[in-house]
Each structure stands twice: as structure tokens, then as C-alpha cells.
Amino acid sequence: MTILPGSDLQVPSDWELLKDSFATAVELRPVERAEFLRGLPIRAAMIEKLAILINDFEEANSFFSELTSEIRSLTVEQPLVQPGETLDGRFRVRRFLARGGMGEVYEVQDLELGGNLALKVMAPGLAAHPQSLLRFREEIRLARAVNSSNVCRVFDVARHVDSNHDFLFFTMELLEGETLADRLFRLGQLPLDQVRSIARQMIAGLAAAHRCGILHRDFKSSNVMLCRDKLEERVVLTDFGLSRRMEATEFEDMLDGGTPMYAAPEQLAGKGETPASDIFSVGVVLYEMTTGRLPAITQSNTIGAGRVDEQVTPPRQFRPDLPPSWDAAILRCIAADPELRYTSVDELGRALDSSSRPSFSRRALWLAAVASVVPAALVWRGRERQASQARANPSIAVLPFSGAPEVRFMADGIVDRLTDVLGQLPGLRVISCSAPERLALETISATQAGLRLNAAYTLSGRVQAQGTQLRIHIELVKTSSSAAAWSNTYDIQQDQLVSIPDSVIRGIIPALALDVEPARISAVSTEQTANQQAYQLYLLGRFLAAKRDLPSLRESVVYFQRCVAIDPHFAAAFAASGFSYYQIALKDPPTAEENLTRARSATDTALAIRSDCADAYLVRAAIRQYSDWDWTGAEESYKQAIRVNPSLAAAHHWYARLLYPQRRFAEALREIQAASVLDPLDESPRIASGMILSYSGQNDRAIHEFRLLQAEDPGNGNLYVPLSCALEAGGRYGEALAAAARGVDVTGRSSFALSQMGHICALTGRDQEARSFLDELEKQYQTGVASASEVASVYMGWKDVENSFQWLERGLKTRDAMLTLMTVDTQFDFLRSDQRFRVLLSHVYPRGI
Amino acid sequence: MDSDVRLAPITELLIKVKAGDRKAEAELAPLVYKELRALAAYYMRRERPNHTLQPTALMHEAYLRLMGQDQIDWTSRTHFFAVAANMMRRILVDYARARRAAKRGSGGPQVSLTDAMDLTLDPSWEKIIDVDEALLRLTEIDERQARVVELRFFAGLEVDEVADVLGISSRTVKRDWQFAQSWLYGQLGAAYRKAKPPNAPRSGANTKSP
């Protein structure tokens, strides 16, 4: 017999007595109850308790019926904000979309930039932490680096405070469709064709994020959106890296039916997240898609207890038509030991890809590509191809070396040289980080940078100086393990700097397991001058040129000149000066002609001394393309530049600019994607790919890309004119006008923005404004800042055939770059039937296209 | 064919449960839990804010989904509910706990004014957690009565349905339910009392004991 703690009742007899008496008493009227209680043959203490129970009954009954109805209406929670409310003075709520993850999602209108976005309100309470906003900002800054149509764009995080609310929210791309979780819920399991398409895109999205050093941390089927799109269903991953930052994850887990099911064992054990833990979660989602169930849970009573991977039933047992290689791949993803899983998402992608038979849709894509119609999905396909081709070779990124300001030029110079030299080694892919973007890498670890740049290895270093004595520490780190694969410290005199690249290359080649002939190593790594002074001047020149602004570029050529005065056989110095001259010509149109001449002669000299100067080929190609309109010669030179240094991002980017005016869109996109992979932090390839999409007739997609870029970096001056052109080509004149106006502002009234602005004004009947822009442009033309074809563009807005041709013909004399776009730009359309147009075209493209 | 592969084990387990196999019941529980949770999550994510999470409806739907379309066996259903009610209780309580944690944010002195307001506006979560805790104590004293509460309150079954599931008379269910309500209410403490009972006992300190 048990005595209950705090109770003077004996169980069960007293208890049964109490129950029976209660049942009788509760049926009686109040007056009868007192009598009944008095007559009970039980102890006084019991009677007291019984009295309380009976007395409580009505209240208890109403308490439980109220609570029951409350439970039944658990979801009748009003959304936090109502349609029509404006959040943070900028986002007007259009409608409530869903309640999920860490908060509520609304469709909102952006009153500042226009367009509709999704807005996610985060759990209240977060707003109270001053650190939250900063931390989210940082997350979002990182997340923005992810450039993939399979990853939901996140724009900004902000706080909304009014008399009723105080919460944080973030804005993101508006997606229409259903989550994978909901589809699986509806259909159980999915047809294999659908599984393939979803898997492929899911993996592409995740790979793009990992490349940027961003982990999902909470990958699951409810974070995969399936969106209706024209060509094929677009799969978009949401809540990247953010969800785990939310403190209300327990709540979210509840809503999502038990997220721990998707988490890797090491994650559940609190040992932190790695790319491998994301791969585990992908494996679970693949399992779920193919079998309609999650990998078996243990049979213990503990709900959601850890899985033991040896006991997981192979998905093929539930899905006999699943290819065996998929079966194996899924099981490998969900191995309990992270070491046994795939080492990267790309590797998983290849494993799945190689085993899926080419489906009809894939072949259709390639046919479409051959037909020069660039399908929407080709952007992705190209990226994947690039990634898998490139993955065959080990990749390495040379990170900025740290050092005090006075040794900065040496540190940067060594980095540039190492990047050059490594790029020429066969079998190695070298990721560069163009100088202005390098800053972003200086505050993060080598491993993070490696992930962000999608490089298997990183080379980083530190330069310290004491008088003329230098200490340089250089380290090769393997991204997947964060382990140093090679390192060395050089204590040298400043004049021994020239020996560093050769020594580093010889040191790391074994660590990278590269098979390179010794002769080849010497050929690329031995510096081209033995003169210490010349070498230091050269490093200084490169340091300045990398800053890319006009004064620095001008100063850099002074150093290169001194270099070659000391050592007239220093080919790299000639090539570098050619590159600087070319940049000056682009940035300062009035001096373009003389500087192009200098660039031409410097590159010719460089290539006469040595035939392996990639920079020199690149400048030669650009001059042939834009100054000589020698398209065949230019193409040959671009290819030579790429042959010498396949990792030279600029060569791929510039080559794309030769391809798309010739309507070779698919090739152009491939080159642009190569440039993106090799220089992931540079945004200019994204603008170029938008232009290619627009010129190939995919305006909506182009506009979408541009808008995303705009949301990320509204101050980007190179963005608005292409955006305006795409909007114009799509017949969206109002927006085109707004974009051009913004371009004029952002670029400080540059000629190319003024030209588009005047053009749009003329096109839409704003004659007076168009005329004033025309005046401004003509003045710029007088001083050599604006080109003749930029002036012509305004007349083309008026469809003024005579003046258009007059100015275009002037442009022919100065070889305006804009003329090369006659083949693809729709603003020329009304001139195409004119004989004079054909004459113009035959000048620009002497061999046709 | 696919759905056969997916659903067969459930049917088998239910047959064993019907035959009184406790091990089968333990195996069935996580499956039911998962299904119920998925259903609850599915409905809570919906755009229709007026869709309610009715425990009984959820259990029916979970049953239909787990059994497939052509194997509805209404006697199995009773056994299914016996298992599902307990799972439904867990779901509600877990949800309430998570909800409370979310509302409190990281808790402590940094809870903002709006949080505090939310908590006072939305007390049913606290009630559910407290009822669950009181019910644990009731289980120790009277397991059957606790089962009645589980089925009646957490699973939302009618008196006759509860009687069916437990294999007892409707009258007993009704009596158990009445008594349990009063008893549990007495366990909840002063916070939930609307007013002091008219003939309150002399010592007000014993509201925590039966």
C-alpha cells in the first residue's frame, strides 16, 4: 500500500471511497449534499477534501470545457500584422502567406524600390537583444554572396517598432509554390524524374552556398520550395544559415514535425556543423523523396532518438525502381560517421548525375542550347558543368597576405605573382580574388575563405619587416580538414624576394599531389628578371595597378617603365604596363588613342620576349576586338591567354564579351560562368550574364537577375544601364526610365547613363528632357568623354533615322564599342532594313557573324 | 503498390495491438506520433488562418493516412485511438512547451513589453502544461482515470468513444471524467481559480493535495 507524498490518503481504498462518494454527491442538489456529506461514515479530513472537490466541480467543468475549445482553436491565431500596414516605413503588407519556421511570412510591396518581396517576421523577443540585428546583418551579408537561382535571395534584416509591435524581420525573394514537405505530404513519394530534377537543383543550390562558405545548418524538406517556372520546376532552398540563429528553434522543430530527423548525429550531439552535416540532411531528404518516409527511427519509446546508420533500411527496399547507385549514394550521405560521407556536395551531385540516365529533358536542353536560344535552366547547367570539370583538378586560392602598411606592396605583389604562376601549372585551378573584394577575406579564417571561394586549398601568409630583413611565413591549408598541408618561414633580405615564388611552388607541388615536369616548374616559376631592384619596382607597380583607379594606374606605368629601363628583357613588366595602359584608355576616353597605342606596343614587346604572358595576350585580344574589329584575331588571342593561364578569370569574362555580340550566347554563358567560378567575389560577371540573357531574348530572367543585384548592392554603377536596356526591350518603359535615372545619379552623370536616359526620354515622348540630356551628352562628346554612338542613342529613341546614322557613322571613325552590339541590341531594330545599317555592320564585322 | 510498402507494417502492428501485444504498441507509438506531428505541422503552416487543429479530426486523418484507403477496419481504429491519444497529448504538451519557450525568448530580464503582453493574452499553453503535470500524478493514483482524461481531454473523444476504447461502461467514463476534472482542478493551484470557494476549508494551504 502506497502512501502518496503530501497525502494522508491510503491507496486505493480511501481513494475508491472518495470517488464513489463524489459520484453520488455530484448528482445531488446543493442542499442535499451537505446532508449527504454529514452522513458519510468516513473521517473528517476526507469529508473536507470531498467538500472541496464537489465545491470545485462546476468551476472545474467550465475550466476544462473552455480549455478544450481553446485547444481546438490553437491555430486561430491572428497574424501579427494586417494587410495595409507598413513595416519600417518601407514595406506594405499585401497578404499573410504562411506561418512556418521561425515566424510568419507575408507578401509585401517594397515602397522604395518597387516590386513585391517576401517578408519574414521573426520571433518577438529577439528584437530586445541589441546584438541580434547586427548578427543577422552579418549573416545576410554572407548569404548575399551566394549566387544561385536555387537559393532564395535574402535582402536585408530590419527592425519594426510601433505602438503594438517590436520585432525583427528580414526580406527575401518572393517565391510562389509549395514546399517539398507539403508535396511529399500530398503525394507520399515522388516519381523518379521529379526526384532527379529536384535533387539536381537542390544540390546546385547547396553547392553554391558552400562555395560561399555558408552552411544551411537546417536542411529539410520544408525548407525546399518548389516554384512554378516556365521551363522546368525551379527548386529554391530557403532559410539558409539563418534558421539556426533563431532562438525559437524548439518551437520551429515542433511545427515542422521534428526537425531532429534531418540533423546529423554530430549536430544532435552539439559537436557543431560542417558541410558534411548538410550532406547528411540532404541524404535524409533524398531518402524521403524516394521512399515517402524518413530513414527508420529506432524502435525505442524515445521519440526521435538517434538513428543507428547500420540499421537504416536501404531506400531501394521501399522503392525497387531506384537505381542501385542512388541507393548507395543516399546511404553514404546518411552515414553516422561524417568521414564516410561525401566530401562535398559537388561530389554527391556527380555521383547522382553519373548514375541517372540522360533523360529527355536534359537532351532537350542541349538541343535548345545549340539553337542559340538560351534556356532558363542553362545558367544552372553551365555552372554545374563548369564546377564538375573544374573539380577534376585540385583548386587553390591565394589569399591576401597580411602585413603592415609599409610591406603591403610586397605582400600583395607576392600574392599576385603566386596567383599568376600557379595558374600556369597544368592540372591546377587557381581561384583569384580581385583586389577590391579581397578585403572581405581578411577577417575570416583560411578554411572559411576556402569554402567561400570553393577552393580545396588556400595559400595564405604574413610578411614582417625589420629594416631590410624580411620574415615571410606562408601556409597551405586544406579546406576540408582545416589542416596545414605545407608551410614554411623565410628569413630573407629584401633583395631575395625574387626567389620566393619559385620556392613556394616547389614546396606545395608535392603537397597538392600535382604531377608537373620539373622543367615546366622552372619555366613558369623562375622570375623573369634577376635584378632585385627591377623586381621590387615591378611589385610596386602591380600593387598600384591592382587599385584600379586612374591616378594609381598612371603611377604604376611609371614604375614599370623604370623596371624595363633597368632590365629591358623583363617581359612581365612590359605585359603589366600594357595592361595598365589599356585600363587607362578605358577609364579616360580623351586619352584613349595614345594609351591604346602604348598598350599595343608594350604587349607586343612582352610577347616578343616571351610567349607565355597571359596578360599580354589578353590586352592584345581586347585591342584587336575593340580597336581593330579583328574578331578572328581577337578570339585567337583570348584563347591563347586562356591556354597560358586557364585560371585567368578576366580572360574568360572578356572572351564572353567577344562571343555574345556574335550571338554565340551558350558559349558566352559558359565563359561567364567560368569567370564567376574563378573569381567568385567579383559581381561583374553577373551583370554580363544578365546582359547575355537579355540579348538572347530572356528579358524577364535578365531583369530578375538585375533586380536581385540591385537589392544587394544598390550603389553598383554598372548595373542600371543594362537593367534599363532589358526593361526597355521588355516594353517596361516606366521602369526603364526609373532605372536609367538611377544610373545617371549613381554614376555621377556618366556618358553611358546619360545616353540611355536621353534615349528612354526620347522613346517615351519626353522630348524636352531628352533634348537636355542630348545637350549634356554633346558637350561631353566635344571634350572626348562621350562617344558619338552614345549621342546617336538619343536620336534612336526618337526613331530619327537620319541623325541616328549620322552619329553612328561618326562612331565608326572612333570605333565605338557600342557599335559591336548592333547585332544584338533591339534599339537598332528600326534601322536594320536600311542599306546604311548593312554598311555599318560590314565595317564592324568585316567577315560577318 | 507503393502505398502497400509504406503502410503494411502499421496494419500488422495494429493487429498485434488488438491481440494485446504491448511490444507492438510500443512500436506503433512513434509512427503514430510522427504522423500526427506531420499533420499538425501541415495544418499549422496553412494559409487559412481559420483552420483549427482539432485533435479528434487529426487522429482520424492520421488513421486514414496510415491505413491506406482500402483497409479501414473500425475495430482496429479503437486500438489506434488508444495509442494515438497518448501521442496527441505529447504533441500538445511539447507544442505548449515550445510555445512557452518561444514566447519567453531567451527569458529573464530581457523579455520585452510585448512578450509580457503575449504571455498574459495567451495562457492556455501554461494550462496545458500544468494539466499534463497534474495528470502524471493522477496516473500514479488511478491509471484508468488518467486514461479517461487523456482520451476525453487531450484526444477530444466523446464519452461513448472513450468507453469503446477502454472497454468500460459509459457510466464509468462519465463518473471518472467528472471526478478527475475536480481533482485536477484542485491540483492546479490558486492561479487558475476564479474566486475563493464559498465554504473554503480552514487551512488554505492544502490545495495541492487531494
Give the long-range contacts of residues A773-778, CB within 8 A, separation 24 or more: A776/A749, A777/A751
> Among B49, B124, B179, whose Cβ lies nearest the Cβ of A19?
B179
* Cell output for A823: 547585332
Taking an 8 Å cut-off on Cβ atoms, the answer to whether B184 and A303 are in contact is no
- The most confident of the ranges A328-332, A457-461, A612-616, A805-809 is A805-809
Q: What is the pLDDT of residues A660-699, one digit of tens each?
A: 999 999 899 999 988 988 888 788 888 999 999 999 988 8
Nearest residue on chain A to B55, alpha-carbon basis = A72
For residue A836, pLDDT beyond 90: yes
Per-residue pLDDT band at B208 (split at 50, 70, 90): very low
Nearest-neighbour CA in chain B from A65: distance (Å): 9
Nearest to B184 by CA among A55, A6, A60, A22: A60
Query: Looking at CA atoms only, how far is residue A43 from chain B in angstroms?
Result: 14
Question: Among A220-229, A382-391, A632-641, A835-844, where is mean pLDDT lowest?
Answer: A382-391
Contact state of A247 with B153 under an 8 Å Cβ cutoff? no
Q: Which residues of A touch B47 (CB under 8 A)?
A: 96-98
- Give B55's contacts (C-beta < 8 A, 6+ positions apart): A71, A72, B88, B92, B154, B155, B156
Interface test with B, best of A75, A122, A131 (most B CBs within 10 A): A75
pLDDT at residue number A743: 92
- Please report residues of B whose CB lies closer than 8 A to that of A299: 26-27, 30
CA distance A412 to B157: 74
Chain A residue numbers touching B194 (CB-CB < 8 A): 59
| Residue-level pLDDT at A75 | 46
- Residue A166: phi and psi, rounded to 5, are -150, 100
Instruction: For residues A667 and A672, give the distance between their C-alpha atoms in angstroms, rounded to a whole number.
Output: 9
Give residue-wise pLDDT tens across range A455-472: 889 999 988 888 778 899
pLDDT for position B50 = 41
Q: Has residue B127 got a pLDDT over 70?
A: yes
Among the residue ranges A66-75, A77-86, A549-558, B148-157, the one predicted with the least confidence is A66-75
Q: Do A99 and B45 make contact, defined as CB atoms within 8 angstroms?
A: yes
Cell numbers at residue A38, please?
454529514
Instruction: Average the pLDDT over A357-384 and give the result.
Output: 34
Task: Indicate the pLDDT class of residue A131, thresholds 50, 70 and 90.
Answer: low
* CB of A247 closer than 8 Å to CB of B105: yes
CA–CA gap between residue A772 and residue A770 (Å, rounded): 5
- For residue A618, is pLDDT > 90? yes
CB contact (8 A) between residue B181 and residue A63: yes
Q: Which residues of A touch B43 (CB under 8 A)?
A: 75
Task: Place B42 in a pLDDT band, splitting at 50, 70 and 90.
Answer: low
Q: What is the pLDDT of residue A439?
A: 61
Backbone angles phi, psi at A104, to 5 degrees: -105, 145
Q: Check pLDDT > 90 for residue A91.
A: yes
Between residues B146 and A375, the one the model is more confident about: B146
Q: Is A835 at the interface with chain B, CB within 8 A?
A: no
Whether residue A294 lies within 8 A of chain B, CB to CB, comes out as yes
* Residue A6 clears pLDDT 50, i.e. is over it: no
Query: Mutate which of B138, B159, B162, B182 to test chain A, going by most A C-beta atoms within 10 A?
Result: B182
Comparing CA positions, the residue from B100, B163, B168, B164 lying closest to residue B128 is B100
Q: What number of helices (H) and strands (E) belong to chain B?
A: 9, 0
Contact: B47, A23; criterion CB under 8 Å: no
Highest mean pLDDT among A123-137, A260-274, B103-117, B169-183: B169-183
More confident residue, A179 or A711: A179
Output the pLDDT for position A382: 35
User: Touching check for B69 and chain A: CB below 8 Å?
Assistant: no
Alpha-carbon Rg of chain A, whole angstroms? 34
Share of chain A above pLDDT 90, in %: 29
Q: Is A73 on the interface with B (CB under 8 A)?
A: yes
Residues in chain B: 210
Q: What percent of chain A has pLDDT over 70?
A: 85
Whether A164 contacts chain B with CB within 8 A: yes
Q: Do A56 and B112 touch (CB under 8 A)?
A: no
Do A488 and A503 form a contact (C-beta atoms < 8 A)?
Answer: yes
Chain B CB within 8 Å of residue A72 CB:
yes
pLDDT at A37: 82
Q: Is A458 helix (H, G, I), strand (E, B) or coil?
A: strand
Provide the number of CB pairs (under 8 Å) joining chain A to chain B: 216
A263 at interface of B, judged by CB pairs closer than 8 A:
no
* B53, B103, B199: residue with CB nearest A74: B53
Q: Select from B38, B102, B210 the Cβ nearest to the Cβ of A257.
A: B38
Q: Mean pLDDT lowest for which of A346-355, A434-443, A559-568, B102-111?
A: B102-111
Least confident of A169-183, A311-325, A350-364, A628-642: A350-364
A675: left (phi over 0), alpha (psi -120 to 50) or beta: alpha
The span from the CA of A495 to the CA of B146, in Å, is 87
Strands (E), A401-543: 402-403, 429-431, 457-466, 469-478, 483-493
What gap in Å lies between CA A185 and CA A181, rounded to an integer?
6
DSSP letter string, A707-764: HHHHHH-TT-TTTHHHHHHHHHHTT-HHHHHHHHHHHHHHTTS-HHHHHHHHHHHHHT
How close, in Å, is residue B155 to chain A by CA atoms? 10
When CB atoms are compared, the residue of B27, B54, B101 closest to A251 is B101
pLDDT score, position B102: 60
Q: Do B92 and A71 touch (CB under 8 A)?
A: yes
Q: Minimal Cα distance from B8: which residue of A?
A: A318
The pLDDT, as a whole number, for residue A680 is 80
Q: With an 8 Å Cβ cutoff, is A75 touching chain B?
A: yes
Distance from CA of B74 to the nearest CA of A (A): 24
Q: What is the pLDDT of residue A380?
A: 32
Residue A119 in contact with residue A109, Cβ under 8 Å? no
Q: A702 is written with which cell numbers?
A: 535578365
User: Which of the four pLDDT bands, split at 50, 70 and 90, describes residue A127?
Assistant: low
Q: What is the arithmetic mean of pLDDT over A762-783?
A: 93
Q: A413 falls in which pLDDT band (50, 70, 90)?
A: confident
Q: How far apart are the first and last CA of chain A?
A: 100
* Range of lowest pLDDT (A32-46, A386-400, A673-687): A386-400
pLDDT bracket for residue A374 (50, 70, 90): very low
The C-alpha cell that represents A505 in the structure block: 611552388
Residue type, A685: P
Task: Could you list the beta-strand ranges (E) of A148-190.
Answer: 154-161, 166-172, 177-179
Residues 308-337 of A with CB under 8 A from B: 318-319
**Who wins on pLDDT, A125 or A793?**
A793
Residues of chain A contacting B2 with CB distance shorter than 8 Å:
188-189, 292, 319
Which stretch of DSSP H or E encloses residue A699? helix A699-712
Residue A585, H or E segment? helix A571-587
HSE, CB side, 13 Å, CA atoms: give it for residue A618: 29
Per the prediction, chain A carries an average pLDDT of 81
Q: Which of A43-52, A717-726, B156-165, B187-196 has the highest mean pLDDT?
A: A717-726
Note whether A123 contacts B: Cβ–Cβ < 8 A: yes
Contacting residues of B for A60, CB less than 8 Å apart: 181-182, 184-186
Q: Rounded to 5 degrees, what angle do the CA atoms A319, A320, A321 make?
A: 95
Q: Cα(A108)–Cα(A83) distance, rounded to whole angstroms?
A: 9
Residue A46 has pLDDT above 70, yes or no: yes
- Report residue A728's pLDDT band, with 50, 70 and 90 as the boundaries: very high
Asked if pLDDT for residue B136 goes beyond 60, the answer is yes
Residue A255: pLDDT band by 50, 70, 90 thresholds?
Answer: very low
